[in-house]
Amino acid sequence: MAPKKRETRKRKTEDPGEDGDTEKEPRSGEVRRRNIRGCSKYIGAHVGIQGGIWKAVDSCVAMGGTSFALFLGSQRSWKRPALDSSAADKFREQCSLHTFDPAHILPHGSYLMNCGSPKEECKLTDDVFEKSQALLVDELSRCSRLGLTLYNFHPGSSLGTITTEECTEKIATAINHAHQQTPAVVTVLENMSGQGSTVGGKFSELKAIIDKVRDQSRMGVCLDTCHAFAAGYDLTAEGGVKAMLDEFDQQVGLKYLKAIHLNDSKGKVGCNLDRHEDIGKGHIGIPAFRDIVNEPRLDNIPLILETPGRPGFEYAEQIELLYSLFDKKK
């Protein structure tokens, strides 16, 4: 279903106040969310957790999003304080109050983790692989306690000292270990831009990891548009989005596609740089995002912005822009 056009004053007076509407702010996030109810696309953004993890839900609602991503704790520390049970309860309550399906919430793993880290990198007591494996278990446990079913992370990096094949083995080892230790959260690998020695720029590398995981029902993939473009998928070409999804289906399988990161790219196609740009302001451009928003294979999965979101073109505006790209005739 296509989203409706702008709210009229008439509609507003028929339905006053309920969503905190004011004269100054004629279309709150809640109103915009209501307008797109029943739409098959779930567009949102990565939101902060400052002040309490449950605040992520309110932030998403305020920006008119219908899906969101969040970190599960500080990006600076390997060891985090235990998740407070009242905070977890509040998070679940907020999700249910605003009718978020867990399948539309995509926690993002810590940037500290490198599940492909070679042993050679360890400095006696500082083994990044061991610490990454432990953090993966911790983060999956947090997901379960928050009622979440997906968990997205960057596969890892060989740091140039082991082969890609060896690196994918280590990543799969960490995932198998974490699956054993935790209940049924789906681990979602993110495609990478092909920068440096990161693994996951090629779909075949994601497949190589999945193939080595025992419980493949707990595996998924999140495709980042900026990373795909930087890795060489020309989304600006006629049919470029379809071609990428066709190739993904052939090499990995669409059943694994659990989410999209919607980012424009500062760099050109094939640049291998992981540099996100606001929607329509980079080298990917609006026509490709129109194709994405109208692609039926991307129905009912979270489509998450991770763009700079500059003042005047923040997430709320970018979400509204993306919803406006729907083909109204459909």
Q: Does 274 bind Zn ion (CB under 5 A)?
A: yes
User: Which H helix or E strand runs over 107?
Assistant: strand 105-108
Q: Is 120 a catalytic residue?
A: no
Q: Is the Cβ–Cβ distance between 29 and 316 less than 8 Å?
A: yes
Q: Provide, rounded to whole angstroms, the least separation between the CB of residue 109 and Zn ion.
A: 8
Q: Does 139 bind Zn ion (CB under 5 A)?
A: no
Q: Provide, rounded to whole angstroms, the least separation between the CB of residue 123 and Zn ion.
A: 26
Q: Is 104 a catalytic residue?
A: no
Indicate which residue of 247, 306, 314, 317 is catalytic: 306
Q: Is 276 a catalytic residue?
A: yes
Distance from C-alpha of 127 to C-alpha of 114, rounded to nearest angstrom: 10
Distance from C-alpha of 158 to C-alpha of 22, rounded to nearest angstrom: 53
Q: Is 111 a catalytic residue?
A: yes
Closest CA to 198 of 233, 238, 231: 231
Nearer to Zn ion, 29 or 107 (CB): 107
The site string for Zn ion over 166-195 (x = CB under 5 A, - otherwise) reads ------------------------x-----
Residue 68, token pair as written in the block: 């969101």
Q: Does 234 bind Zn ion (CB under 5 A)?
A: no
Residue owning tokens 């080892």: 173
Q: Is 98 a catalytic residue?
A: no
Q: Is 261 a catalytic residue?
A: yes
Q: Provide, rounded to whole angstroms, the least separation between the CB of residue 275 and Zn ion.
A: 8
Nearer to Zn ion, 200 or 280 (CB): 200
Amino acid at 1: M
Q: Is 154 a catalytic residue?
A: yes
Rounding to the nearest 10 degrees, give the CA dihedral for residues 71, 72, 75, 77: 180
Distance from C-alpha of 220 to C-alpha of 148, rounded to nearest angstrom: 14
Nearer to Zn ion, 75 or 163 (CB): 75
Q: Provide, rounded to whole angstroms, the least separation between the CB of residue 192 and Zn ion.
A: 8
Q: Provide, rounded to whole angstroms, the least separation between the CB of residue 276 and Zn ion.
A: 6
Helix then strand then coil, in percent of the chain rounded to 5, is: 40, 15, 45
Give, in order, the Cα–Cα distances in Å from 4 to each of 113, 316, 320, 326. Answer: 42, 16, 11, 10
Nearer to Zn ion, 252 or 305 (CB): 305
Q: Is 315 a catalytic residue?
A: no
Residue 140, token pair as written in the block: 């999956």
Residues designated as active site: 76, 108, 111, 154, 190, 224, 227, 261, 274, 276, 306
Binding site residues, Zn ion, CB under 5 A:
190, 274
